[in-house]
Amino acid sequence: MQNKSEENITKEKNKKKSFDLDKVILFIKKYQIVSYVIIGFALFFLSMMLTAQIKSMSNSEEIIQGKRETQLADDLITLQRKYDDLKKQYDDSTAIVEEYQNNSASNNTLISSMKEQINSLSLMAGTTDLKGEGVVIKLNDGANATNADARSDTLVHDSDLLTVVNELKAAGAEAISINGQRIIATSAIRCVGPVIQVNYQKVAAPFEIKAIGNAQYLESAMTIKNGVVDMLKEYGVDISISRQNDIHIPKYEGTQTFENATVDDE
């Protein structure tokens, strides 16, 4: 009887253990499903977050791309403006070149005319070396005067040189020099003590006067009867004249200034 009771007790204990084990297994299965649900929700929210992040990054790239396109558009507009400015400068320069080319003939004519005027003025001003045909007159102090009443000495004076120069000018001489000193409109010929000055430079006998012009006409004007040559010979001055085909006369080496005279535009 006692053994039967012990068996019943053992069976009851085994049933209870089996029941407890079933409950544990059921509990585990129950909460395993919840874990899956929780993990599923976590994965879902994580995927949503990743999707939102990817979408945000995509939007950021679109914004950056939009900014780049705007900047490129602005740069393109700036380059277009610079191109338009350079094109206008090029067109203006081309127009100027074409104008010069079209007017080159008239410009060359004008330049040639100006050069001719400058050369002509240089010739008249005495600022250019010259050469050409003409006469050479040599004067030196004489020994005895043939006409004692006219002058007591036979020395060559500044007035003698001035007389010869004036006669050559009247005869059409184009250029004159005395002992290498070019005679111009402002040249002074004067005695300063025992010497003669031409252009403020001392010159001494013998004097050589060169004149460029029509050689025959100049010689005839100087040697005319009772002319300059005859007069100086009467004074006892030693004078001779000769024609030459290649006379060289240097330019005026001094300076010409006008401090008080001005151009009259009226």
Q: Please state the φ and ψ torsions of residue 103, each to the nearest 5 degrees.
A: -100, 10
Report how far residue 237's alpha carbon sits from residue 151's, in angstroms, rounded to the nearest whole number: 11
Contact between 168 and 222 under an 8 Å Cβ cutoff? The reply is yes
pLDDT for position 43: 62
Contact between 232 and 145 under an 8 Å Cβ cutoff? The reply is no
Lowest mean pLDDT among 95-109, 207-221, 244-258: 95-109
> Amino acid letter at 20?
D
pLDDT for position 10: 55
pLDDT at residue 266 is higher than 70 = no
Q: What is the mean pLDDT of the chain?
A: 76
pTM metric for this prediction: 0.57
The winner for highest mean pLDDT among 64-73, 84-93, 152-161, 180-189 is 180-189
> Amino acid letter at 91?
D
Q: Where are the domains of the chain?
A: 1-102, 128-249
Contact between 229 and 239 under an 8 Å Cβ cutoff? The reply is yes
216-234 pLDDT, tens digit each: 999 999 999 999 999 999 8
The winner for highest mean pLDDT among 33-37, 115-119, 155-159 is 155-159
Out of 3.40.50.300, 3.40.50.2300, 3.30.413.10, 3.30.70.1880, the CATH code matching 128-249 is 3.30.70.1880
Q: Bridge partners of 240?
A: 138
Looking at per-residue pLDDT, the higher value among 159 and 119 belongs to 159
Report how far residue 98's alpha carbon sits from residue 126's, in angstroms, rounded to the nearest whole number: 40
Contact between 122 and 128 under an 8 Å Cβ cutoff? The reply is yes
